[in-house]
Homo-oligomer: A and B are copies of this chain.
């Protein structure tokens, strides 16, 4: 049963907010070994690793046009329809984020521009698992398309028969992914980071994954390739008062914990009645779930916290910096305006996390483990670089000349000053 903590002392907050953490050093050597093999031996290393790790003997790494087309017939039409609706919303919201060019004059004759240029080659990783994570294909490939990335590569682990789920292939096609490869794990990240005979090196890698994938992204993320953000187990925090509905709140906690045994759901409420009601509703609803075992395990990491003062509830939320934050309170927008750290916020009683996970239009690739204090979730910025451009006229350079040379001399950089002087001396 999910445990209730009433008015915990401030010094216990950190303990209550602890995430399930694993010691990654155990897998570090293994991941390093995989990465080095792929860097050195390219495709052949990947064929070998697929056999030894995934137990799959692949004929080719890339999904063929034929495989792609064959799969379309097997996707249910209501799922196709659903993907179209989700796609339209994701497209609309991410399009609205496209940065406009900024073009100003800072000093007479000195013009400064900020221009967004799409990253050329992006790589997406879609994890395997018991069911195909088709929504993540939409969440990563559509913003890349909106931003105008030239080439989208997708890697996802093959099933035991060497195929990829048709839903993944359909989603990738729908979103205009250019190349799909049957590669999973750390070897997929290494392949996209370094490039191989058949896989193009990419400029940035996106997407969730298991510990090996995460470790490989972390290992290569600031030395060989850019990555979206550090990743960890998924989590939700719900802020609820007496205007919330306990059965709704319980369903939100459960939809988080079904993700994996290391997921976390935390309810913060100023109502002890709600706390107890939610605790019971969770028990009841849990029995009906297909993933009861996983969810039960994650409930051990989960908590209900009763804090009476609203300002302290908000502080608790900001300290935790939840990936998902649901605000089921009387004045949810007022509370939202005081939130300083969260990945994505869900307002009121009729916005479950699953709305954003699939179809509201926001992105579901979000910072976990408190990284919301430092990172944004995936958005259009993630797929562009903002390049600055400046132009001084001769007059403009005259206007700034003394400023530049004075600072350059103060920094002992005389050549920097000379580059100005030589221009201003010219008749």
Contacts and interface: CB of A to CB of B under 8 A. Distances in A.
B291 A414 contact: yes
Interface in A365-402: 371-377, 379, 381, 384-394, 396-397, 400, 402
B119 A97 contact: no
Interface in A103-144: 104, 106-107, 110, 112, 114, 117, 119-120, 130-135
Interface in A204-233: 204, 217-218, 221-223, 225-227, 230
A154 B1 CA distance: 47
Contacts of A41: none
A104 B289 CA distance: 34
A218 B225 contact: no
A280 to B, nearest CB: 15
Nearest to A364: B388
A199 to B, nearest CB: 17
Given A89-B106, A355-B400, A377 B373 contact: no
Nearest to A219: B222
Interface stretch (A172-180, A247-255, A270-278): A247-255
A16 interface: no
Given A374-B385, A387-B342, A389-B347, A419 B106 contact: no
Given A110-B361, A407-B86, A222 B226 contact: no
Interface string A227-264: 10010000000000000010110011011011100000
A70 B82 CA distance: 67
Nearest to A417: B354
Contacts of A390: 344-347, 351, 355-356, 360-362
A interface bracket (residues with beta carbon within 8 Å of B): 35 or more
A189 to B, nearest CB: 13
B102 A89 contact: no
Given A89-B106, A414-B258, A360 B251 contact: no
The DSSP consensus for interface residues of chain A is mixed
A172 B247 CA distance: 53
B354 A408 contact: yes
A93 B79 CA distance: 47
Interface in A323-378: 332, 336, 339-363, 371-377
A221 to B, nearest CB: 5
Contacts of A221: 221-222
A202 B252 CA distance: 32
Contacts of A203: 373-374
Contacts of A358: 403-404, 407-408, 416
Nearest to A382: B386
A413 interface: yes
B345 A407 contact: no
Nearest to A89: B106
A419 B255 contact: yes
Contacts of A114: 93, 96-97, 379
A420 B385 contact: no
| 9 tightest Cβ-Cβ pairs between the two chains A and B | A131-B412, A226-B374, A347-B391, A106-B361, A352-B419, A82-B406, A354-B416, A89-B106, A362-B388
14 contacts: A81-B406, A82-B402, A85-B400, A85-B403, A97-B102, A104-B361, A107-B360, A135-B407, A343-B387, A346-B389, A347-B389, A347-B390, A349-B423, A351-B391
Given A110-B360, A259-B413, A346-B391, 9 more contacts: A131-B410, A290-B414, A295-B415, A350-B423, A354-B416, A355-B390, A359-B400, A376-B384, A381-B381
